[in-house]
Amino acid sequence: MKMHRRAFTLVTLVAVAAAALISASTSGASRHVGASGSITVWVDAVRLPVAKLYAKTHPNVHVNIVTFDGDGNGATTMQTKIQLWNRTGHGWPDVIFSEQANDPVWMAQKPFDFALNLNGVFPKNLLKGWPSPSLAQCTVNGQLVCLQDNLAQEVLYVNKKLMTQFGYTVPKTWQQWAAIGQKVAADHPGYIIGNIGDSYGAWLYLWADKCPISQVVAPNTVRINSTDSHCTRMANLLDPLIKSGVVPPESVFTADFATKWGGDNDKILMMPGPVWYAKDIFSGTLHVPAGELTAATPLRWNDEPLVTGQVGGGPWIVSKHSKNVAAAIDFVKYATTSLAVKSKVDALSPGYPSYGPDASVWLTSLDKDPYFAAPEGPAFKAAANLIWKGWSMVTYPDQPVWSNTVVTQLVAGKTLSSLLSAFGDGLAQNAQAAGYKVVRK
């Protein structure tokens, strides 16, 4: 009898204690709305520090981090991976970062059907912080399928020290820029005013001049007119510059580029480039000495309205198949809006944050950074709203077509004007293979 009573008391005590503990933890969880459990995130090398920082500051969440090529330069890694996961029925990561702004377009559609609709899941008050063109770029069939990590508007980088030394004024138009190029070729050979060998060369020069080679004009129909006057006039402007060597067909990411024009040689006079070049590329990759560079507003064509191009601005995508949407959203929220990530110009945030409030803090840090000769913030901010809207995101990458039809031939000595037609053909073939109807006019 005594035994039973003692056992009974013990059991009751344990039960009560357990109930108290459980209720405490659940009410604690609802108080914090804390993320927990585990998620898998796929990031590129540049976003790896952000993922690691999240894992460190959120011990309740077990984060499996996988690095991949980020679909950089038009690679189709994610397409092959998602196909495989769909086919086997498991393996999807919870969050993916892609370097390709195009990726969410096909990720949101069949047969991939991967991206989660963030409307209703991502905190609405935070969404207001994104510029509307950025949200528009991430909207496919009415659904918000991604969030841009950083904006990537193109500006004109200028080496203030060299410009002053040579006595040139900062150009405002493409024509003035080309004229300086002619002078540089004659008076200061070896110096460059830009480059055209990167896989996104078309975005820097053709997008910035409204060349209609990626323009969705109707559902599943894309205009690819590479012989439009906007394209041919830019090619005509560039040809003599490419020939004389002031706009070489080489990529900033090659060792050769850094050796020839960066570092001690310090031969980059000007360079059209996206805002994420700021410190990451010029200081980190090319080792241009401090105190020389600044940014100017992008170039305009004569006196036409000012537009500029865009180079990337990678999106974060959350998986539809995620078993831990709360933690996935928490991760994306941290990566895009947390000041721990976005407040300084450093490895955690090399590019201009898309989230407006963070962008202001980042720009302040940028303007104070002693690496630059003059604040780059004003030019960056001005260019953010100038991206030409006539270039649409499509389901196929155009970078590989530019690389292997245009850049290889520029390296062999051909002119850009002679290659525009073949470039357009290559784009059209890829568009058709991806299921688009193509309009060539």
Q: What residues make contact with another protein under the rule CB under 8 A?
A: 69, 72-76, 79-80, 83-84, 111, 197-199, 249-251, 253-256, 259, 399-400, 403-404, 407-408, 411-412, 429, 433
How far is residue 31 from each of residues 23, 26, 58, 125, measured CA to CA in Å?
Answer: 12, 8, 16, 19
| Residue 189: CB atoms within 10 Å | 11
Q: How far is the CB of 285 from another protein (least distance, A)?
A: 14
Q: How far is the CB of 411 from another protein (least distance, A)?
A: 5
Q: How far is the CB of 201 from another protein (least distance, A)?
A: 11
Spatial distance between the Cα atoms of 375 and 333, rounded to a whole number of angstroms = 29
Kindly tell me which of 115 and 332 has the beta carbon lying closer to another protein.
Answer: 115
Kindly tell me which of 79 and 153 has the beta carbon lying closer to another protein.
Answer: 79
Q: How far is the CB of 373 from another protein (least distance, A)?
A: 29
How would you classify the pairing of strands 139-140 and 61-67? unpaired
Q: How far is the CB of 192 from another protein (least distance, A)?
A: 14
Q: Please choose, from the candidates 127, 124, 170, 155, the residue with its C-alpha nearest in 3D space to the C-alpha of residue 298.
A: 155
Kindly tell me which of 301 and 423 has the beta carbon lying closer to another protein.
Answer: 423
| Maximum Cα interatomic distance, the chain, rounded to a whole number of Å | 108
| Residue 85: CB atoms within 10 Å | 16
H helix or E strand, kind and range, residue 96: strand 95-97
Spatial distance between the Cα atoms of 380 and 201, rounded to a whole number of angstroms = 20
Spatial distance between the Cα atoms of 424 and 429, rounded to a whole number of angstroms = 9
Q: How far is the CB of 347 from another protein (least distance, A)?
A: 22
Q: Please choose, from the candidates 319, 351, 314, 312, the residue with its C-alpha nearest in 3D space to the C-alpha of residue 145.
A: 319
Could you give phi then psi for residue 106, rounded to 5 degrees? -80, -25
> Hey, what amino acid is at 233?
R
Write the CB contacts of 224 (distance below 8 Å, at least 6 apart in sequence): 212, 213, 214, 215, 424, 427, 428, 431, 438, 439, 440
Owner of token pair 């207001």: 128
Kindly tell me which of 74 and 171 has the beta carbon lying closer to another protein.
Answer: 74
Q: How far is the CB of 437 from another protein (least distance, A)?
A: 16
User: Angle CA(145)–CA(146)–CA(149) in degrees, nearest 5?
Assistant: 175
Kindly tell me which of 7 and 411 has the beta carbon lying closer to another protein.
Answer: 411
Q: How far is the CB of 198 from another protein (least distance, A)?
A: 8
Kindly tell me which of 365 and 409 has the beta carbon lying closer to another protein.
Answer: 409
The SS3 of residue 274 is strand
Q: How far is the CB of 241 from another protein (least distance, A)?
A: 18
Q: How far is the CB of 439 from another protein (least distance, A)?
A: 18
DSSP string, 211-246: --SSEEEETTEEE--TTSHHHHHHHHHHHHHHHHTS
First and final C-alpha spacing in the chain: 96
Kindly tell me which of 1 and 412 has the beta carbon lying closer to another protein.
Answer: 412
Kindly tell me which of 266 and 367 has the beta carbon lying closer to another protein.
Answer: 266
Kindly tell me which of 40 and 100 has the beta carbon lying closer to another protein.
Answer: 100
Q: How far is the CB of 290 from another protein (least distance, A)?
A: 25
Kindly tell me which of 408 and 418 has the beta carbon lying closer to another protein.
Answer: 408
Yes or no: say if 250 and 195 are a contact pair by the CB < 8 Å rule.
yes
Kindly tell me which of 3 and 255 has the beta carbon lying closer to another protein.
Answer: 255
Spatial distance between the Cα atoms of 414 and 409, rounded to a whole number of angstroms = 6
Yes or no: say if 158 and 372 are a contact pair by the CB < 8 Å rule.
no
